[in-house]
Amino acid sequence: MKNNWMTILFLVSVNSIPSGKCSCKFQESNGEEVTCSKMSSIDDINRQLYDMSGDQFRSLKLSGSSIHNLVLSKLSVLPQLHQLSTKFSSIHKLSFQTMKGIVVPMRELDLSSSNLKEIYSYTFKNFRDLRTLNIGNNELSDFNAHIFSGLNGLKKLSLYRNKIKSIPPNLFEDLVSLETLDVDSNLIQTLDQVSFTSLKSLKHLNLSNNELKEVPSDIFHRLPQIVELRLEHNGISNINETAFDSLISLKYLYLSQNSLKHLHCDAITEIGTLEKLYLKGSGIEGHSNTCFNGSNNLNELDVSSNRIRELPSLPRNLKVLIIFGNNIRHLYPGAFSKSSQLRKIYLANNELREIEFRAFDDLPNLEELYLHGNKLRHCESGIFRRLQRLKILNLSFNKLERIAYELFHLAQLEDLNLSNNQLKNITNNAFSNLPSLKRLHLSHNEIGDLPNGMFTNLKFTNELRLDYNNIRYLQNSCFEGLERLMILNLSYNDIISIHHKAFNGLVSVHYINLSYNELQYVDGELFESLPNLSVVNLDGNLLHDLSLEVFKNVPSLTAIAIDGNEIDEAVVEQFYARYKNYHLPSIHNYSW
């Protein structure tokens, strides 16, 4: 049989037809890989590869080729290939002349994005060593019988982005070793009860972005090894209560972007192994208050972008709760009392108007809390007092008018975002109990004054945003305590005057943004005490005259911005001759 194989390959090579446009070459980064471009036939490929026959390359890529019917058995180098790719070529039909006793050693076959419309029966019959087969992003709508015959060792099959409307019975009957099946982005409307019965080893099944309307019982009843099931972005409105009963190994279930409205809890609570459940944007309006609390292994729950009005009862081992984009208005005392293991809570973009005292008391392990985009006007003093491991707190885009006394008594907090509120007056002790704070965002508020001592205890803060406020004056040493501050943004305020010692103590600051204020004058001593200052932005002020002497004692200054002022053009040129223009892309590396 080996002689027969070689005879076929010899005849193909002898009858090859030269082509001046196509070419094959070794990839410099990988000496075992050859890429052939602009092939129009098997003969083109074999002719180009003839001189390389002595080189034992293992991978072949056909790029930008157009072959109406690719008969794999006529490929001269097939016996030595471990990988073959036709990606971004046009291969309308795929076939193979089956030969008894021959085993193709190929391990990976990538036929994705190849404009494939048909694959003949038994095409892969001799590919017993194949482990990965990608036929995604093609034009397949129907399957010939026995198309996957012989692929007993296949581990991963990708059929995504085709035009498949149904999965015929017994289509996968030979795929007894298959672990991953991806049928994402097709036109499947229904599933047959025997569609997956032969897939005894299947662990990952992706049916997302199809047109399924329901999940009936017994569809997955013979898939005990399934670990991950993806059904998001369908039109599912009903899930049978016993649909997932047989999935005794299921850990990750994706049901987001469906039309569930009312969730049948029994379909979920019976999955005792479930660790992550995703129900984002599924139109859920009503559910039992105990729908999730029976899932003792559940550690991540996403019910965001629904119409939930009340916080559901949560499982005791939950670590991540994603519930943003709902209609929750109120958090009552002990709201999370049964879920003390929570590490992250996403409650943003709800309708929260009130958080009662002790609402967060039972969360000793919480590290991240997102409350932005709600309608909070006031946060009672002490509501965060038990969150001693909290590192991130986001209260931006609310309607907060003031900061209650000792509201933030959080020893490990590193990031506090209060931007886009209605804060006006902040007391000098508002942030005194945040010894670990690194980033403080106060932009887009109505802050008018910065009282002395306001930042005294923020010894580790390196970013401070105060842009888009109503600040008019910067007093003597108003940033005292910020000894590690590196970035200070004061742009888009109404600053008309800065005390010459306002920046005293900012020994680590690299970047100061004072753009779009109302400064007419910059004191010659203003930046003297800043040994690490490298960039200053003074754009859009009312400066008439600015001397280079102002910056003579700033040893690290490398870039400046003074556009949009009333400074003489000759002076501007002098500045940009000595310092780089901050607006040049090569140095504009600051996010603020």
Matching CATH topology for 329-422 and 439-585? Answer: yes
Contact 269, 242 (CB under 8 A): no
Q: CATH: 3.80.10.10, 3.40.50.300, 3.30.465.10, 3.40.630.40. Which one for 329-422? A: 3.80.10.10
What are the pLDDT digits (tens) for 34-47?
Answer: 999 999 999 989 98
- The four Cα atoms 295, 296, 300, 304 give a dihedral, to 10 degrees, of 40
Give the residue with greater pLDDT, 31 vs 432: 432
How many other C-beta atoms can be found within 10 angstroms of the C-beta atom of residue 106?
25
- Region 305-315: mean pLDDT is 91
CB-count burial class (<10 Å; 0-12, 13-18, 19+) for 107: middle
Collect all residues with Cβ–Cβ distance below 8 Å to 276 and sequence separation of at least 6: 251, 252, 253, 298, 299, 300, 301
pLDDT of res. 2: 40
**CA-based angle 295:300:301, to the nearest 5?**
75
**End-to-end alpha carbon distance in the chain:** 71
Residues in a beta bridge with 108: 83, 132
pLDDT of res. 6: 37
CA distance 54 to 120: 32
pLDDT of res. 584: 63
Whether the predicted pLDDT of 187 surpasses 50: yes
Sort strands 23-27 and 30-37 into parallel, antiparallel or unpaired: antiparallel
Whether the predicted pLDDT of 288 surpasses 60: no
With cut-offs at 50, 70 and 90, classify the pLDDT of residue 14.
very low
pLDDT of res. 585: 58
Arithmetic mean of pLDDT over the chain: 90
pLDDT of res. 19: 42
What are the pLDDT digits (tens) for 448-500?
Answer: 999 989 999 999 999 999 999 999 999 999 999 999 999 999 999 999 999 99
Tokens, residue 438: 């690194």
CA distance 30 to 186: 35
pLDDT of res. 287: 59
Q: Give me the helices (H) in 85-154, please.
A: none
What are the pLDDT digits (tens) for 521-543?
Answer: 999 999 999 999 999 999 999 99
Give the residue with greater pLDDT, 17 vs 177: 177
pLDDT of res. 5: 42
Ranges of each domain in the chain: 329-422, 439-585
Whether the predicted pLDDT of 15 surpasses 60: no
CA distances 425 to 43, 209, 443, Å, are 80, 50, 14
Contact 471, 449 (CB under 8 A): yes
Contact 560, 551 (CB under 8 A): yes
What are the pLDDT digits (tens) for 394-453?
Answer: 999 999 999 988 899 999 999 999 999 999 989 989 999 999 999 999 999 999 999 989
Whether the predicted pLDDT of 53 surpasses 80: no
Give the residue with greater pLDDT, 405 vs 362: 362
- Region 173-186: mean pLDDT is 97
pLDDT of res. 94: 93
What are the pLDDT digits (tens) for 67-102?
Answer: 999 999 999 888 889 999 999 999 999 998 876 778
- Region 536-563: mean pLDDT is 94
With cut-offs at 50, 70 and 90, classify the pLDDT of residue 345.
very high
Exposure string over 390-410, b if 16+ CB within 10 A, otherwise e:
bbbbbbbbbebebbeeebbbb
pLDDT of res. 544: 92
CATH class of the structural domain 439-585: alpha beta
How many other C-beta atoms can be found within 10 angstroms of the C-beta atom of residue 411?
12
pLDDT of res. 392: 98
pLDDT of res. 169: 87
**In which element (H, E) is residue 48 found?**
helix 42-49
Q: How far is C-alpha 471 from the chain's CA centre? A: 37
CB-count burial class (<10 Å; 0-12, 13-18, 19+) for 546: buried
pLDDT of res. 26: 86
What is the reported pTM?
0.89
- Region 250-270: mean pLDDT is 87
CA distance 253 to 269: 12
Give the residue with greater pLDDT, 263 vs 4: 263
